[in-house]
Amino acid sequence: MSTVKKYLSLIKFSHTIFAMPFAMIGFFLAVLKVERAGSLNQAIGWHADLTNGVAMQFYVIKFTLVILCMIFARSAAMAFNRYLDRQFDARNPRTAIREIPAGILKADNVLIFTIACSILFIACTWFINTICFFLSPVALFVILFYSYTKRFTPLCHLVLGLGLSLAPIGAYLAVTGKFALLPVLFSLAVIFWVSGFDIIYALQDEEFDKSNQLYSIPSWLGKAKALRVSEILHVLSAVCVIIAGLSFGWLYWAGVAVFVSMLLYQHSIVKPTDLRRVNLAFMTANGIASVVFAVFVIADIIIN
């Protein structure tokens, strides 16, 4: 296996499918805001001859930097989580095959990779705008701090949700340099959605977490009650996307239908006494939910 493939496996690059679509929603919401307000000069930060070429160049640069920020931030967070949890992963039969406990990658190299990705993330925000640069240490703290939370609070799932929820707000800020209610609503939806499906994923480690003094909703409340908490969080996520839908057209609502259907589906296939389809719920259902929802939302933004 090549070194690149080893690191892609380490950070579970395929899991980018969860937050990236919401970052794209935030980005296109921002483009719509700038275009409708006729405030591209203000967004650029200097007076420019606003030909189509200048506008397109501005958006392409911002889009590229947003993508890079997402990749570097998530890579830093995942690598740091693997580095910090390496001893627990080695003792857990489910995770013993991960790169560090399996000896595929050295722990020190993973830490260096984490630091490099963190620096690159901050460097990218420097080229975006001032507010993103000044907020980058805050974002980095949140996504790295998550790795410690399972050691002292069962609310660790919410911290993970908070970390991924920064995607739509961050992408919106990258273009406009200002906060707005709509991307915040999408961020709230991400918090509740991610926290809910992370609880489902954590059902697999209930007994291991208990025996190793690790905190999670399943190890605290048990599988059945943990699933109830996950359901409540997913209801709240659905409420957020429904409220946000008041600003959109029919394509958005088609996306909502898919998103909510995937939430219902994952709860229909995972039971306290049957965890065989946890990975199907975690990866497939939520991957479809985020990607299809984002496609419909972005299409609605572009068409309307």
Give me the phi and psi of 213, to 5 degrees please.
Answer: 55, 40
Please give the DSSP secondary-structure letter assigned to residue 247: G
In angstroms, the Cα distances linking 2 to 5, 6, 104, 242 are 5, 6, 11, 44
pLDDT at 247: 84
Q: How confident is the model at residue 92 (pLDDT cuts 50, 70, 90)?
A: very high
Q: Which amino acid is at 78?
A: M
pLDDT at 86: 96
Q: How many structural domains does the chain have?
A: 1
CA distance 65 to 75: 15
pLDDT at 133: 97
- Higher pLDDT pick, 44 / 257: 257
pLDDT at 49: 47
CA distance 170 to 160: 16
- Higher pLDDT pick, 177 / 281: 177
Q: Is the pLDDT of residue 51 over 70?
A: no
pLDDT at 13: 77
In angstroms, the Cα distances linking 38 to 44, 50, 173, 249, 299 are 12, 10, 17, 22, 21
Q: Which two tokens stand for residue 259?
A: 């998103």
pLDDT tens per residue, range 189-235: 999 999 999 999 999 999 999 999 999 999 999 999 999 999 999 99
What's the CA angle centered on 62, arms 61 and 68, to 5 degrees? Answer: 90
Note down the domain range covering 198.
Answer: 3-303
User: What's the mean pLDDT when you consider all of the chain?
Assistant: 92
Q: Is the pLDDT of residue 4 over 50?
A: yes
DSSP run (H or E) holding 124: helix 107-128
Q: How confident is the model at residue 8 (pLDDT cuts 50, 70, 90)?
A: confident
Q: Is the pLDDT of residue 121 over 80?
A: yes
Q: Is the pLDDT of residue 50 over 80?
A: no
Mean pLDDT across 116-132: 97
Q: Which two tokens stand for residue 148?
A: 């410690």
Of 8-22, 125-139, 231-245, 252-266, the range with the lowest mean pLDDT is 8-22
Q: What CATH number corresponds to the domain at position 198?
A: 1.10.357.140
CA distance 33 to 250: 20
Mean pLDDT across 155-168: 97
pLDDT at 45: 54
Please give the DSSP secondary-structure letter assigned to residue 14: G
